Amino acid sequence: MKFLDQAKIYVRSGDGGDGVTAFRREKYVEFGGPDGGNGGRGGDIIFEAVPNLNTLIDFRYTQHFRARKGGNGAGSDRTGAASPPVVIKVPIGTQIMDDDRETLLADLDEAGKRVTLCRGGDGGFGNANYKSSTNRAPRRSDKGWPGEERWVWLRLKLIADVGLVGLPNAGKSTFLSVVSAARPKIADYPFTTLHPQLGVVRLSMTEEFVVADIPGLIEGAHEGTGLGDRFLGHVERCAVLLHLIDGAAGNVVDTWRTIRHELAAYGGGLAEKPEIIALNKNDAMTPREASARRAALQKASGAPVLLISAATRQGVPELLRLLQDTVTAKRRDADTQS
């Protein structure tokens, strides 16, 4: 299935049904009178987050959603039928943005969460509604109220606990394939990862967390260089960032600063998130190189730096334990605040 995390769609709720002008005429009823019913309510446009979707690919082929008009009223004080709502199902983590792509209308970040984006129009009154002691035979009836319409942008931000960031070829896809059942594309050239990947890491029967791997960043990504920074939105909800650095490539401090600059330029609170640094490809460095580069990186960043090798799993269990403890602490803090 092709991954799609942005889509523009048109939504329109249903118009209200029309009220009618009608009078009661029966053979053995001496006095008739107005009995025109009201119109029914138009259908709403509702968005719902469901757990069995992970992409917006359906909205590439269906971009217009319209609810039906409410039924018209009828004689004998019969009210028109209300139209059913149109429920649009989206993946968990979908944000609904206005057409300007800046105004947030709704954030569906939990399974089952619903939002009514466009309300259906109310039905018009029939002439029975205007009957009074001074107006015994009103001939007034109203049209239904129009529904609402708008163009909106859907933006998917994956729900993950750990965000995996780094330069291309830092070993992020290899790491994800080793610690989870995910099978991302792995090759010896840059930008093998073209869209985000999710993997579930299970340390025990009761401990697990979700890792999100996004395409590699390079210098100038916030200006559109390489694949740009459009995929950074998928790690905005993460509790902690795992910064994977290719230790065998050298210049590890410059590499760290490059990614940190891109995170700060993107915004979204990424630069303030807790960061754990993993110096990858330890099997390709001498002990002296590994020790010196780790010390330099720790001094520059002030964050925990672990030596690992995703290919040989050296240091991986210790890193996973640190990530799990960090995620668990963040979850505990979130539960306390709520």
Please check if 5 is assigned to a binding site.
no
168 is in an annotated binding site: yes
| 301 annotated to bind ligand | no
Q: How far apart are CA 236 and CA 186, in angstroms?
A: 25
Cβ-based neighbours of 223, under 8 Å, separated by 6 or more: none
**Under 8 Å between Cβ of 86 and 27:** no
> Could you give the dihedral angle defined by the CA atoms of residues 303, 243, 327 and 199, in that order, rounded to the nearest 10 degrees?
-170
Residue 290 φ/ψ region, left for φ over 0, alpha for ψ in the -120 to 50 degree band, beta for the rest: alpha
Q: Is 167 annotated as a binding residue?
A: yes
Positive or negative torsion for Cα 13, 19, 20, 25: positive
- 58 assigned to a ligand binding site: no
* Residue 170 marked as a ligand binder: yes
Any known ligand binding at 280?
A: yes
Whats the size of the chain, residue-wise?
A: 338
Amino acid at the residue 106: A
Determine if residue 271 is labeled as part of a ligand binding site. no
Residue 166 marked ligand-binding: yes
Asked whether residue 127 is marked as a ligand-binding residue, the answer is: no
Is 169 labelled a binding residue? yes
Q: Is 269 annotated as a binding residue?
A: no
d(CA 123, CA 40): 5
Task: Give the type of residue at 303.
Answer: A
Among candidates 208, 202, 197, which has minimal Cα distance to 163?
Answer: 197
Q: Would you call 302 exposed, middle or buried from its count of C-beta atoms within 10 A (0-12, 13-18, 19+)?
A: exposed
Question: Is 191 annotated as contributing to ligand binding?
Answer: yes
Please check whether residue 195 is in contact with residue 215, taking contact to mean a CB–CB distance below 8 angstroms: yes
To the question of whether residue 38 is assigned a binding role by annotation, the answer is no
> Annotation-wise, does 310 bind a ligand?
yes
Is residue 309 annotated as involved in ligand binding?
A: yes
User: DSSP H helical segments within the chain, as ranges?
Assistant: 58-61, 172-179, 252-266, 287-301, 316-337
Residue 171 marked as a ligand binder = yes
Q: Was 135 annotated as part of a binding site? A: no
Check the annotation: does 216 bind a ligand.
yes
Q: Tokens 């509702």 — which residue?
A: 46
CA angle 229, 175, 262 (to 5 degrees): 20
List, as residue ranges, the binding site for GTP: 166-173, 191-195, 213-216, 280-283, 309-311
List, as residue ranges, the binding site for Mg(2+): 173, 193
List, as residue ranges, the binding site: 166-173, 191-195, 213-216, 280-283, 309-311
